[in-house]
């Protein structure tokens, strides 16, 4: 490890995490039956204005459960962004369905909603909207397309916990929403996720699938195959403590983004992330940059910053280029924006507890390296 290395992310566990974990240990409630699970689910339901929430073991599990609960399977197609985390595509492919990719918008880095209607076919079953890096998908026109063609909508809000779209909370849109609580998220439980719905029938489906589809009359007689996707009371205890401080976390993230923007606004070496648009203000889950310098792609910057003791991460690698998806990829439109984001994009240390002095130091390093 480089001395004084600045990691790309560190979770902030300075609230009631230890206190609530001790309560779990003292009470003996450490399994998924503990009271913090229900408290965490209730808190997320209130945050997102959803009727039903189901905590699960990770964000990937949340997506797989969502796809299964909506009845998506063989011969179905799901329209989704190519510029996203692999979990999104995996949930579709493992269900036997086909992901149909749309390109990224070059300014928001979210899926180009205007491309969706062009790839709707008779096999299309759903649209998966994935909010990327701190700005939201333009949901109103997406929902209009879904209504026009009678399509289901899955909203992956993992990267925008606490964000809003036109004043409405992310996690409240579509038929089903999902979250991840990995350590780099605005709320972390170490590993963990959440599925959120309003529909009563869909709620019962999610509840059963999460818990091995135990029988109602005979517990050990299973009419359907489910998963053990349960979360532990220990994880949920951390989640409750994190949820308590979410407003402060969002405030710190916005301050972080504003300081990066201020320090780097005159630097011609990078294209900075959009700070806001007509429907949301960036909450900077991460602070991303696009290289503007010829012959200096993302990998060049990542290597140089590592030499300076600054941790970074490359942008997502497009789903349509993934080697493991060669036989399951369907690309009907040009996807060049996503490829450009992958080639040129990387993000800087973005911890909510990142001191302002450290942000200034990172910016000084960037400016010095860009002039070299």
State how far the Cα of 113 lies from the Cα of 120, in Å rounded to an integer. 12
Which of the two residues, 298 and 221, has the higher pLDDT score?
A: 298
Which of the two residues, 197 and 221, has the higher pLDDT score?
A: 197
What is the predicted pLDDT for the residue at 372? 73
Taking the CB of residue 191, how many other CB atoms lie within 10 A of it? 18
Q: What is the mean pLDDT of residues 357-367?
A: 96
CATH 3.40.50.1390 is held by the domain 17-244: no
Average pLDDT across the chain, whole number? 95
What is the predicted pLDDT for the residue at 1? 43
Sheet holding 345-348, edge to edge: 270-271, 287-291, 345-348, 313-314
Q: 49-62 pLDDT, tens per residue?
A: 999 999 999 999 99
Q: What is the mean pLDDT of residues 205-210?
A: 94
What is the predicted pLDDT for the residue at 3? 61
What is the predicted pLDDT for the residue at 13? 96
Least confident piece of the model among 182-186, 216-220, 330-334, 349-353: 330-334
- Domain range 247-371, its CATH number among 3.90.1150.10, 3.30.43.10, 1.10.10.10, 1.20.210.10: 3.90.1150.10
Taking the CB of residue 267, how many other CB atoms lie within 10 A of it? 16
Domain layout of the chain by residue ranges: 17-244, 247-371
- The set of residues, in sequence order, having a beta carbon less than 8 Å from that of 253 and lying 6+ positions away, is 134, 186, 283, 284, 285, 350, 352
Whether residue 26 has pLDDT greater than 70:
yes
Sheet holding 152-156, edge to edge: 52-56, 193-197, 176-180, 152-156, 124-130, 77-81, 98-102
Q: What is the mean pLDDT of residues 314-329?
A: 87
Whether residue 295 has pLDDT greater than 90:
no
What is the predicted pLDDT for the residue at 371? 78
Q: Which percentage of the chain shows pLDDT scores above 70?
A: 98
Q: What is the mean pLDDT of residues 156-171?
A: 98
Q: What is the mean pLDDT of residues 267-289?
A: 96
202 closest CA partner among 237, 171, 225, 176: 176
Whether residue 333 has pLDDT greater than 90:
no
Q: Quick one: pLDDT band at residue 331, thresholds 50, 70, 90?
A: low
Whether residue 328 has pLDDT greater than 70:
no
Q: 113-125 pLDDT, tens per residue?
A: 999 999 999 999 9
Question: Is 133 in contact with 347 (CB distance < 8 Å)?
Answer: yes
What is the predicted pLDDT for the residue at 4? 83
């Amino acid at each position: 490890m480089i001395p004084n290395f600045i990691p790309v992310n560190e979770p902030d566990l300075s609230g009631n995490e230890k206190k609530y974990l001790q309560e779990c240990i003292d009470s003996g409630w450490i399994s998924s039956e503990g009271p913090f699970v229900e408290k965490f689910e209730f808190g997320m339901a209130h945050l997102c204005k959803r009727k039903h929430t189901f905590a699960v073991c990770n964000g990937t599990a949340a997506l797989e459960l969502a796809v299964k609960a909506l009845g998506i399977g063989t011969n179905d197609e799901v329209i989704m962004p190519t510029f996203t985390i692999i979990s999104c595509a995996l949930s579709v492919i493992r269900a036997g369905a086909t992901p149909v990719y749309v390109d990224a918008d070059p300014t928001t880095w979210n899926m180009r909603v205007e491309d969706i209607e062009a790839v709707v076919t008779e096999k299309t079953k759903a649209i998966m909207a994935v909010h990327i890096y701190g700005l939201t998908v333009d949901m109103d026109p997406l929902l209009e397309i879904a209504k026009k063609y009678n399509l289901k909508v899955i909203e992956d809000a993992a990267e925008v916990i606490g964000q809003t779209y036109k004043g409405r909370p992310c996690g409240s849109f579509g038929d089903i929403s999902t979250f991840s609580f990995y350590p780099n998220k605005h709320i972390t439980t170490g590993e963990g996720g959440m599925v959120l719905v309003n529909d009563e029938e869909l709620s019962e489906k999610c509840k059963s699938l999460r818990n091995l589809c135990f029988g109602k009359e005979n517990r050990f007689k299973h009419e359907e195959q489910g998963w053990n996707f349960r979360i532990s009371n220990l994880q949920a205890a951390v989640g409750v403590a994190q949820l308590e401080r979410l407003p402060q976390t969002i405030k710190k993230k916005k301050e972080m983004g504003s300081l990066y923007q201020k320090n780097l606004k005159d630097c011609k070496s990078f294209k900075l992330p959009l700070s806001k648009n007509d429907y949301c203000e960036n909450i900077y889950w991460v602070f991303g940059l696009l290289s503007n310098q010829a012959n200096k792609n993302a990998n060049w910057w990542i290597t140089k910053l590592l030499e300076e003791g600054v941790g970074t991460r490359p942008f997502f690698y497009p789903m349509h280029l993934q080697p493991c998806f060669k036989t399951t990829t369907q690309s009907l439109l040009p996807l060049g924006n996503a490829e450009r984001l992958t080639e040129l994009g990387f993000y800087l240390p973005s911890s909510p507890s990142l001191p302002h002095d450290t942000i200034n130091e990172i910016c000084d390093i960037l400016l010095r390296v860009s002039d070299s």
